[in-house]
Structure 1
Amino acid sequence: MNNVTKLVRALKSASVGAVEAGTPVHITFGEVISIHPLEITVDQRFSLDQDFLIVPEQLTPYQIMIEGQPIVIRRGLEVGDSLLLLRMQGGQKYVLLDKVVEA
């Protein structure tokens, strides 16, 4: 590998690092305003639909049947739920970390 190739690779690496540093991961709050389709208001400033959200299994509804009776294991998201969100690097997607409850 010659010196020019090494220099080009070093510049590419530095520029990628600079771009990533410009939009670091950010934690924010949101509120569920719709379930079907899923929509969340972020910091009372803007809304995100399901295309921009990553929902972990722990926030989805789950129930089982025992002797003909439905038993709710997880209720899932409901309108009005407060959420802790993680904006992924680049700001295009948000991960729903968990619900926020009062102590």
Structure 2
Amino acid sequence: MMLDIIKKASLSAVGSTNPMAVLYGIVTSQNPLEVNVDQRFSLTEDFLVVGESMTEYKLNIGGEEYVIREGLKTGDTVLLVRYQGGQTYLVLDRLVKPS
């Protein structure tokens, strides 16, 4: 009986804190960065944290510039992780369609 009460209280506490969630979004603007989440709401760059792997990386070799990694572009589908509390979203990865 007491164990059931503790379990219910624990589940209620976790549910009220908005634990981490994984969401899909579409990049709707590149600069400034904006992502539309599940066609429900848009996040501006103030609410987004972008990992280094999602930023453009260029390399100069012998006077030639090579793009090693492209940054996020309008239309990209991205995987987002919402931090606890829901104020900050990490752009975890860009999703690609298999060819």
Q: What interval of TM-score do these two structures reach, taking the shorter chain for normalisation? A: 0.7 to 0.9
The percentage of counterpart residues that share the same residue type is: 49
Q: Does 2:53 align with 1:64? A: no
Structure 2: which 5+ runs fail to align? 1-8
2:46 aligns with 51
Q: Does 2:81 align with 1:86? A: yes
* Bigger helix share: 1
Q: Which amino acid aligns with 2:32?
A: P
The alpha carbon displacement at 1:71 in A equals: 0.7
Q: Does 2:42 align with 1:36? A: no
Structure 1: which 5+ runs fail to align? 1-13
The number of residue pairs the alignment matches comes to 88
How far apart, in 1, do the equivalents of 2:46 and 2:80 lie? 15
How far apart, in 1, do the equivalents of 2:96 and 2:80 lie? 14
Three-state SS of the structure 2 residue aligned to 1:51 is: helix
Which runs of 4 or more aligned residues in structure 1 lie more than 2 Å from their structure 2 counterparts after TM superposition? none
Three-state SS of the structure 1 residue aligned to 2:46 is: helix
Tell me the TM-score normalised to structure 1 length.
0.79
1:11 aligns with none
Three-state SS of the structure 1 residue aligned to 2:53 is: helix
1:56-87: per-residue Cα shift (whole Å, max 9, x none)? 00000010111111111111100000000001
Query: Which structure has the larger Rg over C-alpha atoms?
Result: 1
